[in-house]
Structure 1
Amino acid sequence: MTDDTNSIELATELTIAWLSNPNTRTSADDVPAFLQSMHAAVSKLGGEQSVDAPEAPAQEFTPAVTSRKSLASKDQIISMIDGKPYKTLRRHLATNGMTPAEYRERYNLKVDYPMVAESYSESRRAMAKKIGLGRKPGQTIQKGAEPAAAKPRRNAKPMATADAE
């Protein structure tokens, strides 16, 4: 038996089982349509290609702006989806159901195309360095200037002793 015969037999058995269900109310005209839909479903699950359904062509997306214009400002990145400015694209892409990799692939961008505005990235980097992130263990945070030399201790006055009385 071939795979085609198996899918036809499976579709036929499923249709017979569907018709033998006492809760199924159908007319004789609906049976061929149901049998065809079962055959298509079984063929699809079996990995067979249906002759009737040609493969859908890949959809072309035209960007709202060019990649150069998208990165023109240091303060924001302009989205190629809707042409609006954002400091970071990650949340915007998530609302549109995409990942950064899918976004780059969709608009033929390089792998190193940034998802965050340059000024935003610099401010986050400065903030992280300020609180000490990125240091290796054992390194200390360097202060801007050397601390002033400590004042010499005053000589303590001798305490009065009980013998002096």
Structure 2
Amino acid sequence: MTENIPAREGQSSSNAERKQLLELTADIVVAKLAGSDVPADSLPGLIRQVYEALAGGESDLREEGASPKQQPAVPVRKSVFPDYIICLEDGKKLKMLKRHLKSTYDMTPDQYREKWGLPSDYPMVAPSYAARRSELARTIGLGRNIGVSAEHKRGHNSDL
């Protein structure tokens, strides 16, 4: 199993070191899964992210003083469609981005917007989904001030 994982460019890793990295990765991922609800389709990305962090990808760059600039999975302008939003972290098509960000990356919408330089009004929900939910709310009367007195609501009728 460890033979399939190549050593990082510029690093010489023995099989024992790679095996240790895999064991640590497995331990961390298992701990994460025990403490939160992570969707099954995000496991490969989580495993890769943990492995690369342990292998020293990001920490090596920070120690050298260079700040790594992650590229979005898709251009920001092509990330919002009527029926879905594409996550800039991993390229997944989603109707609701907020839960995915929290469960997969432990990131709030504000942190996500800040990381990618997005405006504060960048949507976290697909536009058609938001419109459908808004229409449903209007249909059932949410947010409407009917103007009925509190006395009438309680069933007291002053005409009796």
State the TM-score, normalizing by the size of structure 2: 0.49
Structure number, greater radius of gyration: 1
State the TM-score, normalizing by the size of structure 1: 0.48
**Bigger share in helix:** 2
